């Protein structure tokens, strides 16, 4: 991170951004390995005993409950936690933010797990389309957190590499445009600027912006407080504070919340890849290409 800071100071923003992302990705991978290990398949852990299946609930009802769970955690986050995280990234000093982030990760891995554990291709396709419908309703609710958690699952490598109907792939790409990272998330920032609360923003981008402001600007200039840096930090955090002040009016559905089970029934990254490769071995495309050439 010291090297990232020096790169930012020297104006090498693109290189600093890439290096920082690689560092954080490796840290996240180690955290997942430490806390999740290789979890058992969902069926082996009694998931089938929970009420219903995902298809038993309406998409808008699922979106409501995802938003309700997100909101309960989002409103607990204190602004100083977020500001401090950009400087120290200390889980103990930012407990509510850490809990919210873990909730995001668990939800994303839960989505990946229940899709990839379907043995039949049509069942996987049906579930993926179900989640796309849920994302549609999440967008109407201005819940960008669950929206991106599901999108990151559907666009993850173990899921994306599998074979999908052309219409399904095109539908997913349409939803990806909102969270396109090119041009510094321009589409998402524009959508967020037009939103009327209640809203749950994607905190990952807020933390990224705060980190770059912190790394790219000194706290003091010629011994005096750098108010320009403080003003940038305030503008980033003020939008989050504004969203926390307006609450959702949603009723809790215990059947759906029980079905989620805190998103604890999910597979680790290694298990996801193992199932993905079992469904579609790495050399399957190569074999098809060779057969086509012979034909």
Global pTM reads 0.77
| 91 touches 98 (CB < 8 A) | yes
DSSP 3-state assignment of 221? strand
pLDDT tens-digit readout, 16-58: 777 777 777 776 666 655 544 434 444 444 444 344 689 999 9
Residues across the chain: 295
Q: Kindly state the average pLDDT of the residues 256-280.
A: 93
Average confidence (pLDDT) over 185-207? 91
pLDDT of residue 291: 52
Is the confidence at residue 248, as pLDDT, over 80? yes
Residue 97 has pLDDT above 90, yes or no: yes
Domain edges within the chain: 58-276
Q: What is the pLDDT of residue 179?
A: 73
- In our burial notation (b when 16+ CB lie closer than 10 A, e otherwise), range 223-253 reads eeeeeebeebbeebbebbeebbeeebeeeee
What is the distance, to the nearest Å, from the Cα of residue 109 to the centroid of all Cα atoms in its chain? 9
Return the pLDDT at 47. 41
CA distance to 46, 110, 189, per residue, from 154 (Å): 24, 11, 22
Q: What is the pLDDT of residue 30?
A: 66
Query: Which tokens in the block code for residue 92?
Result: 């103990």
pLDDT at residue 71 tops 90: yes
**Average pLDDT over all residues of the chain:** 85
Would you call 105 helix, strand, or coil by DSSP? Answer: helix
Is CATH 3.40.50.720 correct for 58-276?
no
pLDDT-wise least confident of 22-26, 88-92, 213-217, 249-253: 22-26
Phi-psi region of 70 (alpha: psi -120 to 50; beta: other; left: phi over 0): alpha
């Amino acid at each position: 991170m010291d090297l990232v800071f020096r790169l930012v100071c020297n104006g090498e923003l693109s290189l600093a951004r890439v290096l920082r992302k690689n560092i954080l990705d490796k840290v996240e991978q180690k955290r997942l390995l430490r806390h999740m290990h290789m979890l058992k398949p969902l069926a082996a852990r009694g998931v089938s005993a929970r009420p219903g299946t995902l298809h038993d609930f309406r998409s808008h009802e699922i979106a409501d409950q995802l938003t309700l769970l997100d909101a309960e955690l989002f409103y607990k986050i204190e602004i100083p936690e977020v500001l401090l995280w950009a400087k120290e990234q200390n889980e103990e000093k930012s407990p509510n933010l850490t809990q919210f982030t873990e909730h995001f990760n668990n939800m994303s891995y839960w989505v990946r797990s229940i899709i990839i554990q379907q043995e039949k291709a049509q069942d996987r396709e049906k579930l993926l389309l179900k989640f796309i419908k849920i994302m549609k309703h999440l967008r109407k609710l201005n819940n960008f957190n669950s929206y991106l958690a599901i999108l990151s699952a559907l666009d993850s490598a173990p899921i994306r590499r599998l074979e999908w109907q052309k219409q399904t792939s095109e539908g997913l790409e349409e939803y990806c445009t909102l969270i396109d990272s090119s041009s510094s998330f321009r589409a998402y920032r524009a959508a967020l600027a037009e939103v009327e609360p209640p809203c749950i923003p994607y905190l990952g981008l807020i933390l990224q912006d705060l980190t770059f402001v912190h790394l790219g600007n000194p706290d003091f200039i010629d011994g005096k407080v750098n108010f320009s840096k403080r003003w940038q930090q305030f503008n980033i955090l003020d939008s989050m504070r504004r969203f926390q002040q307006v609450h959702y009016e949603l009723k809790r559905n215990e059947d759906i919340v029980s079905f989620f089970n805190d998103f604890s029934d999910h597979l680790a990254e290694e298990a996801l890849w193992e199932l993905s490769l079992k469904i579609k071995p790495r050399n399957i495309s190569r074999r098809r290409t060779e057969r086509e050439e012979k034909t």
